Structure 1
């Protein structure tokens, strides 16, 4: 991947993100409904409600994660005067890339959650949010989003490739068709789900109840966490984990496969 620039990684990330969310959007609808305690949509249209804003959110998220990850890699190698990244630096760089993407992801997910609850069109939902809560309300849940995205990005940008590299050296796995890719993808997806699920639940609950006067318990990350644990039990922090786990495992495959395929295509194009 050394010949592919950060800007090119950004474009690849945009395409990969839109592809992933277009395939996996129903799992988002199910997960959000379970986390908020409302009925799961029963129709295809209901499951795909919010897809335009969800895709619009994922495009900048994955483009920033891919591009920032590449930029941070290049910067680290230049500053440290090295051509190699250690395990710790690889994971740290991926976490930084994930945290950076929360700037776009948080407000977009706020709008998507409100639209899933109301059933309004996207323009109508924008107008309602601004007129009711103000233009800055969509950044509610930002701290939880940063926590979630940094851990999630470290899973698919760092843990999965690192684990795949280790498994490729193990004959029992390497000799199976696609073995290292499958095992590393599932393992990284499961780990990312478990590590990020509480932050995702807290973020969803905060964004689902934007009126902090009527719902002061959802004002901050700390107050939301305390309220959920005290009133509903710590297990609630893992509500909606199964559809999200399925989505993340699939996402690890989709994002990494798309990334590898397109990066290889760019490199082959340059060599032709």
Structure 2
């Protein structure tokens, strides 16, 4: 991220941050969505009549039932939401970071984590909750013998008709926790790892793409294991049957732990790990390459 290498109190270009983040987010969403689809299916867990699927079984079943395109059920709201989310994330992170830098223009790991937390909370409210709710319901609906959603716009209309406008904000609590934790862990770990790696880069030259990808991927691994329980609860609370199954997020967490076991809070880790390794590498690399070009023209 160019903002991490900015010197002193130099401020970032918010428009360039927004646009570069949106490009990075949309690209990452499309490339990694099949893994997101498999992760969501695995997290339904006991909601599928107690049948526990492996990632391979979920993949095979989806392709047999719906074809390869079945892995892209619900992709449209995620691409749109991810583009907006990443734009908001990078813009707010850069602004929070500018405010939190010390007089020498440096950002300590705790301050970087705080800036990431603020960015994550912002993106959860503005973009993530609606797109995640629609995506989750569309993926679950696509597994039914007779799906009721005809497409993204029809799904949105149906959800609002049946649950009201608040229906697309179901699970906002765990989403805010997940996104806040995601961004706090991801940005702080990425920032720390990048500062360590810069010692091997020739002064005055840009860090090579493969190194940025590797650092972003490593940050993704750290993020997955630290935040997975929030993701599982978020998925359950946004399912089609959440209103009848759970009273609130705490009740959902309690039922998962007592009925399925503590480690089910990490259900879907494998596909999410695969996605966030790729996600971290793609999104930081695309952002790093896109931001300088955009900042020179906007």
Same fold (TM over 0.5): yes
- 1:90 pairs with 2:126: no
The change in CA–CA distance for 1:195 and 1:211 in structure 2 (over 3 A counts) is closer
Moved more, 93-102 or 131-140: 131-140
Q: Which residue of 2 aligns with 1:24?
A: 32
Work out whether residues 171 and 238 of structure 2, in 8 Å CA contact, stay in contact via their aligned partners in 1: yes
Q: Hey, what does 1:174 align to over in structure 2?
A: none
- C-alpha distance in structure 1 between counterparts of 2:199 and 2:254, whole Å: 45
Deviation at 1:204, TM superposition (A): 0.1
| Matched residue SS, 1:85 | coil
Quote the Cα distance in structure 2 between the aligned partners of 1:89 and 1:3. 17
Using a 3 Å threshold, how does the CA distance of structure 1 residues 265 and 31 change in structure 2: closer, same or farther? Answer: same
Task: Note closer, same or farther for the CA distance 1:211–1:199 as it changes in structure 2 (3 Å cut).
Answer: closer
Distance 1:183 1:123 in 2: 37
Q: Which residue of 1 aligns with 2:283?
A: 255
Secondary structure at 1:219's aligned position in 2?
A: coil
Deviation of the 1:7 alpha carbon: 2.3
Q: Which moved more, 1:122-131 or 1:55-64?
A: 122-131
Q: Say if 1:201 and 1:238, in contact at 8 Å, map to a contact too.
A: yes
Gap regions ≥5 residues in structure 1: 172-176
Which 10-residue stretch deviates more, 83-92 or 11-20? 83-92
Q: Tell me how large the CA RMSD over aligned residues is.
A: 2.3
Query: Could you list the runs of 5+ residues in structure 2 that have no partner in the other structure?
Result: 4-9, 143-148, 202-207
**Aligned residue among 188, 196, 200 for 1:166:** 196
Post-superposition shift, 1:269? Answer: 6.2
Cα displacement string for residues 71-103 of structure 1 (whole angstroms, at most 9, x for unaligned residues): 1122334xx655221111111101110111101
Match of 2:43 in 1: 35
